[in-house]
Structure 1
Amino acid sequence: MAYEEGVVRRDPSAIIKENGKYYVWYSKSTGPTQGFGGDIEKDKVFPWDRCDIWYATSEDGWTWKEEGPAVTRGEKGAYDDRSVFTVEIMKWEDKYYLCYQTVKSPYNVRVKNQVGLAWADSPDGPWTKSEEPILSPADNGVWKGEEQDRFAVIKKGDFDSHKVHDPCIIPYKGKFYLYYKGEQMGEEITFGGRQIRHGVAIADNPKGPYVKSPYNPISNSGHEICVWPYNGGIASLITTDGPEKNTIQWAPDGINFEIKSVIPGVNAHAIGLNRTADVEKEPTEILRWGLTHIYNNGDYQSIMRFSSERKTRHVAKGVKK
């Protein structure tokens, strides 16, 4: 899925292997980004605005064939009528589930996006969408004034009072853990960057209902959700924002995370993990290769493969090995 002028492809899901092929889902839109300065009813305010969810397959994990749309935007007036994007895949009991972000028009600065769900009997679809969102921002913040200023608040509310982003559902201990990124109304910039934190909502059924954990937020740092099962618990790669960015953390219960290692300089965005990896081989085995997106320019992104290696020792510069 090399760069194609005029096309945005970004935020790849995790990779699964079915029918002898690798599958990945991603956000796709066309045209440049105009931002919030013009007519937000007609313009495209972000690269992930006016997206649909597409998918591609590969026999070797290197060369990918774009197959077509999987989940498209809803009809005018629906909670997902403006954009569906930043998708993740889960397989459970021979069914496939896609969770993703949704935005309802108009897409203004203070818009509160939600999380949608679609399911199918085959990775090739057809997909049935949830009639209502499965996760929404907290409703306990209060904006200040009518101006479209996301930093002006009377009351901030919970850590996820503005947006719930980057959903990822993991089957865990007989339940379904929906991890997500929370953005707060009146978000602040700290010494660690944006004040981004993660949360989790738990359900007994893949379709929900999902109930937010009383222990939220479960992190004080992070950006895109990147989680995987390991050693009876859940591991998490924390990147981009916060005082604990560029760390791998682990929680024995999927909630109480502690730093286990530091990874200086993670050069990948919205990592799509290779779910076919042996996650019990060692904690970072699932990071050996996967997909990410690259910013080709200010308007367009494309999806590329990443790889990593595990270093077991460090030799100082000038010292003989």
Structure 2
Amino acid sequence: GFFLQLSYFGTDQSQVGRYLTARSTSESKLGLLMNGLVKIPMQFLILLIGALVFSFYQFNKEPVFFNQTQLEVLANSKFKDSLAILKKDYDAMQRLKVEQMNLLAEKHFQKGSPDWDKVRSVLRNTEDQKARFRETIKRWLQDNSVRGDYNDTNYIFLRFVVDKLPKGLVGLLIAVIFLAAWGSIAAALNSLASSSMVDFHKRYSKNVLSEQKEFKLSRIYTFLWGIFCVMIAQLAYNIGNSLIEAVNVLGSLFYGVILGIFLVAFYIKRISANAVFVSAVIVEIGVITLHFFNQYKIISLSFLWLNVVGALGVILLGYVLNIFLAPGSKKEVLQEAEL
């Protein structure tokens, strides 16, 4: 996690672009510091909302599946009758669970007493039944005749908002979510468009462009990157258990290598550009390979370790390749190793 956040806040173009707009180095440093400090309470509030919604559903009826659209798909499939029976049984089980939770909250049974053990046993059984009901729903959605989305993690909060909040507040909250999402998307698209213009178009174009022409081309690049992002989102929407995990998984495929390049540029200047480039390409291929090995259960590796492998791999492999790719550096590196 440390390597992931270090790369995100220190090397990601969407973040660095904000630092570059500061009027001075001091303001840029202050912006970086505030970015890190604000991130902590923001993450706390996000996780707190999840904990509060979880607590709410302990004392109130919880949907058997939070994605209502997929339940409607099942209702129009060959599982229609089975779904109706499952819902009826699930509702009865939920009523029992709510009764036991309210009883536990009201009576404050002493831990270890017969009443405490009885309530715990009932709650444990209801949780096991709930898990079986949800697994049945997911199995039906994965059926070849249905082929629905069996992951409803990203719909828990939205279902709570739609079902429990007043209608006016629902519209306002959804609008806020869209605005927040668009703010992040706009920063990413602007970063991609500016990188495309500065690092590729202006570098390899022989024509001198006016500011108006550059602006028009930037808009075209923004549009093209927008289409690309939509396509990737359609393919990667079901990566991981939740949306935030999917973002971190995709970021971990590249952030480690990017961080390694920056670390070499700042602190190990004796490694040549050619060595860094080749090592970055090789390590990136290795990181993606490790990810696929993990996906197919060949190895068991958390995606957060991909950032560590990427960063350290670029540095270590860059040192080795620098012996062969940097003219006159072989002798110097060997002398440094002896020291």
**What range is the shorter-chain TM-score in?**
under 0.3
TM-score (norm 2): 0.25
TM-score (norm 1): 0.26
The structure richer in strand per residue is: 1
- Higher relative contact order structure (alpha carbons within 8 Å, sequence separation ≥ 6): 2
Q: Greater CA radius of gyration, 1 or 2?
A: 2
The structure richer in helix per residue is: 2
